Structure 1
Protein backbone atom coordinates (compact mmCIF):
# COMPACT_ATOMS: atom_id res chain seq x y z
CA UNK A 1 0.00 0.00 0.00
CA UNK A 2 1.17 3.48 -0.89
CA UNK A 3 1.12 5.76 2.15
CA UNK A 4 0.55 9.00 0.31
CA UNK A 5 0.63 11.92 2.74
CA UNK A 6 -0.86 14.60 0.47
CA UNK A 7 -2.13 15.22 -3.05
CA UNK A 8 -0.51 18.07 -4.96
CA UNK A 9 -2.31 19.39 -8.03
CA UNK A 10 -1.49 22.01 -10.66
CA UNK A 11 -4.92 23.59 -10.17
CA UNK A 12 -8.19 22.82 -8.43
CA UNK A 13 -11.79 23.90 -8.93
CA UNK A 14 -15.28 22.82 -7.96
CA UNK A 15 -15.46 21.03 -11.31
CA UNK A 16 -12.23 19.18 -10.46
CA UNK A 17 -13.82 18.03 -7.19
CA UNK A 18 -16.90 16.78 -9.03
CA UNK A 19 -14.76 14.71 -11.42
CA UNK A 20 -12.63 13.33 -8.56
CA UNK A 21 -15.68 12.44 -6.47
CA UNK A 22 -17.46 10.69 -9.33
CA UNK A 23 -14.32 8.67 -10.17
CA UNK A 24 -14.11 7.45 -6.58
CA UNK A 25 -17.81 6.54 -6.50
CA UNK A 26 -17.50 4.69 -9.82
CA UNK A 27 -14.54 2.67 -8.52
CA UNK A 28 -16.37 1.86 -5.28
CA UNK A 29 -19.37 0.63 -7.27
CA UNK A 30 -17.13 -1.53 -9.50
CA UNK A 31 -15.73 -3.10 -6.32
CA UNK A 32 -19.18 -3.35 -4.73
CA UNK A 33 -18.02 -1.13 -1.86
CA UNK A 34 -20.35 1.20 0.03
CA UNK A 35 -18.71 4.55 0.82
CA UNK A 36 -19.27 8.09 1.89
CA UNK A 37 -17.11 10.81 0.35
CA UNK A 38 -16.64 14.50 0.94
CA UNK A 39 -14.37 16.91 -0.86
CA UNK A 40 -13.86 20.28 0.79
CA UNK A 41 -12.29 23.42 -0.62
CA UNK A 42 -11.32 26.18 1.79
CA UNK A 43 -13.50 24.62 4.49
CA UNK A 44 -16.57 24.49 2.24
CA UNK A 45 -18.08 21.17 1.22
CA UNK A 46 -18.19 21.10 -2.59
CA UNK A 47 -18.86 17.38 -3.11
CA UNK A 48 -20.70 15.07 -0.76
CA UNK A 49 -22.10 11.57 -1.26
CA UNK A 50 -23.23 8.99 1.30
CA UNK A 51 -24.36 5.55 0.10
CA UNK A 52 -27.94 4.73 1.11
CA UNK A 53 -26.78 1.71 3.12
CA UNK A 54 -24.49 3.67 5.45
CA UNK A 55 -25.56 5.11 8.81
CA UNK A 56 -26.43 8.79 9.10
CA UNK A 57 -23.39 9.49 11.28
CA UNK A 58 -20.99 9.06 8.34
CA UNK A 59 -21.06 12.84 7.90
CA UNK A 60 -19.47 13.12 11.34
CA UNK A 61 -16.81 10.51 10.51
CA UNK A 62 -15.93 12.41 7.32
CA UNK A 63 -15.61 15.69 9.22
CA UNK A 64 -13.50 14.23 12.05
CA UNK A 65 -11.06 12.51 9.65
CA UNK A 66 -10.76 15.68 7.54
CA UNK A 67 -10.03 17.73 10.69
CA UNK A 68 -6.99 15.51 11.31
CA UNK A 69 -5.74 15.90 7.72
CA UNK A 70 -6.22 19.68 7.90
CA UNK A 71 -4.59 20.04 11.31
CA UNK A 72 -1.47 18.01 10.49
CA UNK A 73 -1.43 18.76 6.73
CA UNK A 74 -0.94 15.10 5.96
CA UNK A 75 -3.17 12.08 5.46
CA UNK A 76 -5.18 10.83 8.42
CA UNK A 77 -3.70 7.34 7.88
CA UNK A 78 -0.18 8.74 8.12
CA UNK A 79 -1.15 10.56 11.34
CA UNK A 80 -2.70 7.35 12.72
CA UNK A 81 0.55 5.47 12.04
CA UNK A 82 2.69 8.27 13.53
CA UNK A 83 0.57 8.30 16.69
CA UNK A 84 0.82 4.52 17.04
CA UNK A 85 4.57 4.44 16.40
CA UNK A 86 5.18 7.29 18.84
CA UNK A 87 2.84 5.88 21.49
CA UNK A 88 0.81 9.12 21.33
CA UNK A 89 -2.87 10.06 21.16
CA UNK A 90 -4.69 13.00 19.64
CA UNK A 91 -6.26 13.94 22.94
CA UNK A 92 -3.36 13.22 25.29
CA UNK A 93 -0.50 14.51 23.18
CA UNK A 94 -2.12 17.27 21.11
CA UNK A 95 -5.20 18.20 23.20
CA UNK A 96 -7.46 17.48 20.20
CA UNK A 97 -10.89 16.21 21.24
CA UNK A 98 -12.00 12.82 19.95
CA UNK A 99 -15.38 14.47 19.42
CA UNK A 100 -13.88 16.57 16.60
CA UNK A 101 -10.82 14.57 15.45
CA UNK A 102 -10.45 10.96 14.32
CA UNK A 103 -7.07 9.46 13.39
CA UNK A 104 -8.28 6.75 11.01
CA UNK A 105 -7.34 6.41 7.37
CA UNK A 106 -9.41 8.01 4.65
CA UNK A 107 -8.65 11.72 4.49
CA UNK A 108 -5.90 13.23 2.35
CA UNK A 109 -5.16 16.97 2.17
CA UNK A 110 -5.25 18.67 -1.21
CA UNK A 111 -2.49 21.11 -2.11
CA UNK A 112 -2.12 23.31 -5.17
CA UNK A 113 1.39 24.06 -6.39
CA UNK A 114 2.59 27.47 -5.22
CA UNK A 115 -0.58 27.97 -3.16
CA UNK A 116 -0.44 25.46 -0.29
CA UNK A 117 -3.22 23.37 1.23
CA UNK A 118 -6.63 24.23 -0.21
CA UNK A 119 -8.83 21.38 1.00
CA UNK A 120 -9.34 17.71 1.77
CA UNK A 121 -10.71 14.59 0.14
CA UNK A 122 -12.20 12.12 2.59
CA UNK A 123 -13.72 8.63 2.28
CA UNK A 124 -15.42 6.54 4.97
CA UNK A 125 -17.25 3.23 5.03
CA UNK A 126 -14.44 0.73 4.48
CA UNK A 127 -11.44 -0.21 6.61
CA UNK A 128 -9.22 2.81 7.12
CA UNK A 129 -6.53 1.42 4.81
CA UNK A 130 -9.16 0.77 2.10
CA UNK A 131 -10.66 4.26 2.60
CA UNK A 132 -7.19 5.73 1.98
CA UNK A 133 -6.34 3.43 -0.92
CA UNK A 134 -9.54 3.95 -2.93
CA UNK A 135 -8.69 7.64 -3.21
CA UNK A 136 -5.24 6.81 -4.56
CA UNK A 137 -6.51 4.04 -6.88
CA UNK A 138 -9.28 6.13 -8.39
CA UNK A 139 -7.06 9.14 -9.04
CA UNK A 140 -4.17 6.98 -10.34
CA UNK A 141 -1.70 8.62 -7.97
Structure 2
Protein backbone atom coordinates (compact mmCIF):
# COMPACT_ATOMS: atom_id res chain seq x y z
CA UNK A 1 0.00 0.00 0.00
CA UNK A 2 2.86 2.42 0.77
CA UNK A 3 4.25 1.77 -2.73
CA UNK A 4 0.89 2.77 -4.22
CA UNK A 5 0.79 5.91 -2.09
CA UNK A 6 4.38 6.75 -3.05
CA UNK A 7 3.61 6.37 -6.76
CA UNK A 8 0.51 8.57 -6.54
CA UNK A 9 2.44 11.10 -4.44
CA UNK A 10 5.22 11.24 -7.06
CA UNK A 11 2.63 11.94 -9.78
CA UNK A 12 0.97 14.65 -7.69
CA UNK A 13 4.34 16.29 -6.98
CA UNK A 14 5.01 16.37 -10.73
CA UNK A 15 1.63 18.04 -11.27
CA UNK A 16 2.41 20.61 -8.57
CA UNK A 17 5.73 21.44 -10.25
CA UNK A 18 4.16 21.55 -13.71
CA UNK A 19 1.11 23.68 -13.01
CA UNK A 20 2.73 27.05 -12.42
CA UNK A 21 1.10 29.92 -14.29
CA UNK A 22 2.70 33.04 -15.77
CA UNK A 23 -0.11 35.20 -14.35
CA UNK A 24 -3.55 34.99 -12.74
CA UNK A 25 -5.98 37.75 -11.81
CA UNK A 26 -9.67 38.32 -11.08
CA UNK A 27 -10.70 38.04 -14.73
CA UNK A 28 -8.77 34.77 -14.99
CA UNK A 29 -10.50 33.46 -11.87
CA UNK A 30 -13.91 34.19 -13.34
CA UNK A 31 -13.03 32.64 -16.72
CA UNK A 32 -11.45 29.50 -15.23
CA UNK A 33 -14.26 29.03 -12.71
CA UNK A 34 -16.89 29.48 -15.41
CA UNK A 35 -15.21 26.90 -17.64
CA UNK A 36 -15.00 24.45 -14.76
CA UNK A 37 -18.68 25.05 -13.98
CA UNK A 38 -19.74 24.41 -17.58
CA UNK A 39 -17.70 21.19 -17.73
CA UNK A 40 -19.10 19.98 -14.41
CA UNK A 41 -22.66 20.77 -15.47
CA UNK A 42 -22.18 18.92 -18.76
CA UNK A 43 -20.86 15.88 -16.87
CA UNK A 44 -23.57 16.07 -14.19
CA UNK A 45 -21.05 16.39 -11.37
CA UNK A 46 -22.54 17.26 -7.95
CA UNK A 47 -19.73 19.59 -6.88
CA UNK A 48 -18.97 23.01 -5.52
CA UNK A 49 -16.18 25.00 -7.16
CA UNK A 50 -14.21 27.74 -5.45
CA UNK A 51 -11.33 30.00 -6.39
CA UNK A 52 -9.47 32.30 -4.01
CA UNK A 53 -6.91 35.04 -4.51
CA UNK A 54 -5.14 35.82 -1.27
CA UNK A 55 -7.77 35.48 1.44
CA UNK A 56 -10.63 36.55 -0.85
CA UNK A 57 -13.09 34.09 -2.34
CA UNK A 58 -13.35 35.38 -5.90
CA UNK A 59 -15.39 32.59 -7.50
CA UNK A 60 -17.85 30.14 -6.02
CA UNK A 61 -20.62 28.00 -7.45
CA UNK A 62 -22.66 25.06 -6.23
CA UNK A 63 -24.06 22.59 -8.73
CA UNK A 64 -27.13 20.36 -8.44
CA UNK A 65 -26.52 17.50 -6.02
CA UNK A 66 -23.96 19.38 -3.94
CA UNK A 67 -24.66 20.54 -0.41
CA UNK A 68 -23.43 22.84 2.33
CA UNK A 69 -21.25 19.94 3.50
CA UNK A 70 -19.29 20.28 0.26
CA UNK A 71 -18.73 23.96 1.05
CA UNK A 72 -17.32 22.97 4.43
CA UNK A 73 -14.97 20.41 2.86
CA UNK A 74 -13.88 22.96 0.24
CA UNK A 75 -13.05 25.49 2.96
CA UNK A 76 -11.05 22.93 4.98
CA UNK A 77 -9.11 21.71 1.92
CA UNK A 78 -8.47 25.32 0.84
CA UNK A 79 -6.89 26.08 4.23
CA UNK A 80 -4.51 23.13 3.74
CA UNK A 81 -3.49 24.20 0.22
CA UNK A 82 -2.98 27.77 1.39
CA UNK A 83 -0.98 26.79 4.49
CA UNK A 84 1.31 24.30 2.75
CA UNK A 85 1.49 25.96 -0.69
CA UNK A 86 0.69 22.69 -2.40
CA UNK A 87 -2.30 20.57 -3.31
CA UNK A 88 -4.49 19.33 -0.48
CA UNK A 89 -4.19 15.83 -1.99
CA UNK A 90 -0.39 16.05 -2.04
CA UNK A 91 -0.32 17.09 1.61
CA UNK A 92 -2.49 14.16 2.68
CA UNK A 93 -0.48 11.71 0.57
CA UNK A 94 2.78 13.05 2.05
CA UNK A 95 1.58 12.21 5.54
CA UNK A 96 0.28 8.76 4.55
CA UNK A 97 3.48 7.91 2.63
CA UNK A 98 5.44 8.06 5.89
CA UNK A 99 2.81 6.27 7.97
CA UNK A 100 1.31 9.37 9.56
CA UNK A 101 -2.24 10.65 9.83
CA UNK A 102 -2.76 14.30 8.93
CA UNK A 103 -5.67 14.74 11.34
CA UNK A 104 -3.51 13.85 14.36
CA UNK A 105 0.08 14.40 13.24
CA UNK A 106 -0.28 17.83 11.59
CA UNK A 107 -1.27 19.33 14.93
CA UNK A 108 -3.93 21.40 13.19
CA UNK A 109 -7.61 21.44 14.06
CA UNK A 110 -9.34 18.87 11.77
CA UNK A 111 -12.50 20.95 12.05
CA UNK A 112 -10.64 23.66 10.09
CA UNK A 113 -8.13 21.67 7.97
CA UNK A 114 -8.65 18.61 5.71
CA UNK A 115 -5.80 17.09 3.69
CA UNK A 116 -8.06 15.44 1.11
CA UNK A 117 -7.90 15.86 -2.63
CA UNK A 118 -9.57 18.67 -4.47
CA UNK A 119 -7.79 21.99 -3.89
CA UNK A 120 -4.72 23.10 -5.81
CA UNK A 121 -2.59 26.19 -5.23
CA UNK A 122 -2.57 28.87 -7.89
CA UNK A 123 1.14 29.48 -8.27
CA UNK A 124 2.71 32.16 -10.44
CA UNK A 125 6.23 31.74 -11.79
CA UNK A 126 8.68 33.93 -9.87
CA UNK A 127 6.00 34.90 -7.32
CA UNK A 128 4.71 31.76 -5.59
CA UNK A 129 1.26 30.84 -4.37
CA UNK A 130 -1.31 33.60 -4.82
CA UNK A 131 -4.53 31.66 -4.37
CA UNK A 132 -6.31 28.35 -4.74
CA UNK A 133 -8.71 26.57 -7.06
CA UNK A 134 -10.73 23.65 -5.82
CA UNK A 135 -13.76 21.44 -5.90
CA UNK A 136 -15.60 19.19 -3.46
CA UNK A 137 -18.25 16.57 -4.01
CA UNK A 138 -16.50 13.61 -5.62
CA UNK A 139 -14.06 11.07 -4.16
CA UNK A 140 -10.82 12.88 -3.35
CA UNK A 141 -8.79 11.49 -6.27
CA UNK A 142 -11.55 12.53 -8.69
CA UNK A 143 -11.81 16.01 -7.12
CA UNK A 144 -8.05 16.40 -7.56
CA UNK A 145 -8.07 15.08 -11.14
CA UNK A 146 -10.87 17.47 -12.16
CA UNK A 147 -8.91 20.48 -10.90
CA UNK A 148 -5.66 19.30 -12.51
CA UNK A 149 -7.41 18.72 -15.85
CA UNK A 150 -8.76 22.26 -15.87
CA UNK A 151 -5.55 23.90 -14.69
CA UNK A 152 -3.67 22.08 -17.47
CA UNK A 153 -6.16 23.26 -20.05
CA UNK A 154 -5.97 26.80 -18.65
CA UNK A 155 -2.18 26.77 -18.66
CA UNK A 156 -2.03 25.62 -22.28
CA UNK A 157 -4.29 28.35 -23.69
CA UNK A 158 -2.90 31.63 -25.01
CA UNK A 159 -4.98 33.75 -22.63
CA UNK A 160 -3.27 32.23 -19.58
CA UNK A 161 0.00 33.62 -20.85
CA UNK A 162 -1.32 37.15 -20.64
CA UNK A 163 -2.85 37.40 -24.13
CA UNK A 164 -6.53 38.02 -23.46
CA UNK A 165 -9.08 36.52 -25.80
CA UNK A 166 -12.38 38.30 -26.23
Does TM, scored on the shorter chain, surpass 0.5? yes
Unmatched runs of 5 consecutive residues or more in structure 1: none
Q: Look up the match of 2:161.
A: none
Which of 122, 140, 147 is residue 135 of structure 1 equivalent to? Answer: 147
TM-score by length of 2: 0.78
How far has the Cα of 1:86 moved from its partner?
A: 1.1
> What are the equivalent positions in structure 2 for 1:107-122 lying under 5 Å apart?
107-122=119-134
Gap change, CA 1:91 and 1:133, over 3 Å in 2: closer
Give the Cα–Cα distance (whole angstroms) in 2 for the partners of residues 57 and 35 of structure 1: 11
Is the Cα–Cα contact under 8 Å of residues 92 and 102 in structure 2 kept in the other structure?
no
Between Structure 1 and Structure 2, the one with more helix by share is: 2
Structure 1 or 2, whichever has the larger Rg, is 2
Structure of higher RCO (CA pairs closer than 8 Å, 6+ residues apart):
1
Change (3 A) 1:75 1:52: same
Using the size of structure 1 for normalisation, the TM-score is 0.91
In the comparison of the two structures, how many residue pairs are matched? 141
Aligned to 2:111: 99
**Partner Cα separation in structure 2 for residue 52 and residue 78 of structure 1:** 28
Q: What is the DSSP-based 3-state SS (H/G/I as helix, E as strand, rest coil) of the residue aligned with 2:49?
A: strand
Shift of 1:114: 1.7
